[in-house]
Amino acid sequence: MMEEKLGPGQVWGKKFVVYAALGVPKVDPLKWRFKIDGLVDAPQEFTYNQLTSLSQVISKRPAQCVTRWSIRDSEWEGVPLKALIEPSGPRPEAKWVMFHCEEGYTAPVPLSDALSDGSVLAFKLNGKPLSAEQGFPARPFIPDLYLWKSAKWVNRMEMMENYRDGYWEAYGYHERANIWEEERFKGMHGKAVRRTALGTA
């Protein structure tokens, strides 16, 4: 089944490894706002209650980290990103989305991946509200991209014409990060895995 497919070069892990490169922010859901702006005709701003009152779906796909562990049976529950992006009217030149987060983390993803089936703005993981370590109050989940693109503590989605590095991309991680093409590092094209200057094979 598609939802249990392991990405190339990945191994199943037992538990999530929790990363918080810039720390775990404490977010008050009553004060938190989620914005959609940039190259859109109708910028939007939502409260937590507004978003969680919208129709929710479950995206059951593995979480797959670029450091080669994957977690099966992860159920990400939230609003399809498509249902948030399309009403904002992204302009034709918009090709990338930058996720901005509470603690300053950023992650760019292709707009086409954000709009794909299974991509959600998640508020729950495996039936429970996201924990603080997993990104409460919200994080996108984009099933075909490595997990660093599913940015925790997100508060803004900026539509862009041109690619810009986010936090991890500045360290050499891939611009798009497609799991099935094993796009782990910049300079790795398609499935050609070579030893890079980063010292990884």
Partner 1 sequence: MDVVRQAHLPGNYELYDEESGGLGPPICKFCWEKDHARNTSSLDTVWLSLDGWNVVWWVCKGHHAGMGTGDPSMIILKSETSLVRNPMIGK
| 185 makes contact with partner 1 (CB under 8 A) | yes
Q: How far is the CB of 21 from partner 1 (least distance, A)?
A: 5
- Regarding 163 and contact with partner 1 (CB under 8 A), the answer is no
**Residue 16 or 116: which CB sits closer to partner 1?**
16
Distance in angstroms (rounded) separating the CA atoms of residues 85 and 79: 11
22: contact with partner 1 by CB under 8 A: yes
Regarding 105 and contact with partner 1 (CB under 8 A), the answer is no
- Tell me the per-residue interface mask from 118 to 157 with partner 1, x by CB under 8 A, - otherwise: ------------------------------x---------
Question: Which of 165/181 has CB closer to partner 1?
Answer: 165
Largest CA distance in the chain: 47
Q: With 0-12 CB in 10 A as exposed, 13-18 as middle and 19+ as buried, what is 119?
A: buried
Token match 């094979």: residue? 201
Please tell me whether residue 165 binds partner 1 under the rule CB under 8 A: yes
24 binds partner 1 (CB under 8 A): no
Nearest CB to partner 1, comparing residues 8 and 87: 8
**Least distance in Å: CB of 95 to partner 1?**
22
Binding part of the chain for partner 1, among 19-27, 44-52, 87-95, 134-142 by CB under 8 A, reads 19-27
User: Could you tell me the two tokens for 9?
Assistant: 């070069």
Residue 192 interacting with partner 1 (CB under 8 A): no
Residues that bind partner 1 (CB under 8 A): 13-19, 21-22, 65-69, 148, 165, 168, 170-173, 185-186, 196-200
